[in-house]
Structure 1
Amino acid sequence: MKPLLYQFLAMAVLWIGLIFFYDEMNNLSRFIFYLVTSWVLLLLVLLVKQVIRNRKASK
């Protein structure tokens, strides 16, 4: 679970950095932004799934 959490945090920091320059982005940059956004959302879903699985296993 730790690698997933670290990757989520790293991508979230990158995503926050990209938000500041969204108005100045060209089409390729916005495509990269949307890719990072979808990756962050996927990591968030996987992280929540892992937390739920760990809670069920501990019961």
Structure 2
Amino acid sequence: MIKDLVFTDMGEIIIKLLLGQLVIIAVVWTGMAFFFSEMAEPSKVIFYLVTSWMLLLIVIIIKTWLKNRKS
């Protein structure tokens, strides 16, 4: 019983950390998207990397949320 409680709390902490990181990345991505037309090629590569990281975070958050929901 205590083991289940610890894993539940840990799952909630992980979700909160992932959501916090997603919010920060989304703010950075929005700022970069605003200036996309003025970006040089290296800046566009960074933009694509940030976009990929944000999409990966979304997938990990959904996967973690579904896993915690089933438990």
- Provide the rounded CA distance (Å) in 2 between the counterparts of 1:14 and 1:53: 28
Could you tell me how far 1:36 is from its partner in structure 2?
A: 0.1
Give the greater-gyration-radius structure (CA).
2
Q: Normalised by the size of structure 2, how large is the TM-score?
A: 0.78
Could you list the structure 1 runs, at least 4 aligned residues long, displaced by more than 6 angstroms after superposition.
Answer: none
The root-mean-square deviation of aligned C-alpha atoms, in Å, is 0.5
* Overall identity of the aligned pairs, in %: 51
Alignment length (residue pairs): 57
Q: Normalised by the size of structure 1, how large is the TM-score?
A: 0.93
Match of 1:52 in 2: 66
Match of 1:29 in 2: 43
Deviations 1:25-44 (A, max 9, x none): 00010000000000000000
Residue ranges of structure 2 left out of the alignment (5+ in a row): 1-14
Residue ranges of structure 1 left out of the alignment (5+ in a row): none
